[in-house]
Amino acid sequence: MAARFEGLDFYDVDSLLSEEERMVRDTIREWVEDRVLPIIGDAYVERRFPTELIPEIGELGMLGANLPAEYGCAELNNVCYGLIMQELERGDSGVRSFVSVQGALVMYPIHAFGSEEQRRDWLPGLASGEKIGCFGLTEPDYGSNPAGMITRARETADGWVLNGTKMWITNGSMADVAVVWAQTGEAGDAKGIRGFVVPTDTPGFSARDQKGKLSLLASDTSELVLEDVELPADALMPGTTGIRNPLMCLTQARYGISWGAVGAAMACYHEAVSYAGQRVMFDGVIAGKQIQQVRIADMLTWITQGQLLCLRLGRLKDEGGMTPQQVSLAKRANVDMACDIAREARRLLGANGILAEYASMRHMANLESVYTYEGTHDVHSLILGQAVTGVSAF
């Protein structure tokens, strides 16, 4: 049991995975160990996304990994996709966010709601990493209530003209294309919200870095500004018919986040166990102290619960039975769990826990953003409350 404990598979979850699922996980795990972990601490301190990794991310098939092979994607099942997110966030939330946004928030809507021409034009380049995408939904005054957005798309004889501002946009400053959501009807009309494929070199489109972040420092986060952005008629994604469509995209992203949070928690757990076995205090390693053993036991328990929750959710998704409310439960539970583990690991590390050479405080800061984005913890609580009681608290 000692080896299984050290490998953090206390309930033998490996036996529930297929050979392909284990192979995908192990491939990405090895890549993260070899390519991400040696550089991510410095990238975080330098406040930069490690763009040098993008070609390798594409080559390994991580971008849109669960989308069809005919568009250059890996066409893996959703458990494989989740395991990729888990292993990437063992490295850093910023790396997982890059892949998650590209796949779930850019490639997924183009595939699900776009025209065949849009799919052929964009998906292969996005799958390879030659093209980068971003997702423009959140606005400065409309986060948890995206239906209230004020970004406007006005139809003209030649196509569309977009005006508005989007906030907290991952990949925004380096994107070649943006999936932008805009109101085409009257203010507050949920059915009037449509999606557009917007090349970022279109006149009137600009992106500027978000300043002052204290979290996700190794991630590109931007504000998008659209000033009389003129688009042809075929920039509209024809399958978009209202606010339901961007919410479907968020469900895809939240699914991956549920797995990613487990990966961040695993990274903190491994660091805590390793450190506790080496750090000597009062004539013995702190792994032999009761208070640290309680911390480690709690971490092990919470992560095991999160692993089983994700695996069941993945199987439901592959069977076609997953609901948005089930994703809300997993995102809410696992991110909250990971926040607690990162904090406890940081505390176990003592003063060393605030140094960039250790991962726990970096994960702790990142997870505070993950706790908020793609639906805040409190909003997911209300979604579950409505699912159980049948009464909306919104």
State the catalytic residues. Answer: 374
Q: In angstroms, how far is the first alpha carbon of the chain from the final one?
A: 47
If you search the block for the tokens 């070609």, which residue do you land on?
A: 55
Distances (CA, A) of 276 to 84, 270, 283, 353: 28, 10, 13, 12
Residue 368 corresponds to which tokens in the numbers above?
Answer: 């505070």
User: How many Cβ atoms from other residues are within 10 Å of residue 351's Cβ?
Assistant: 6
Residue 165 pairs in a beta bridge with: 225
Q: Give residues with Cβ within 8 angstroms of 241, minimum separation 6.
A: 191, 194
Single-letter residue type at 24: V
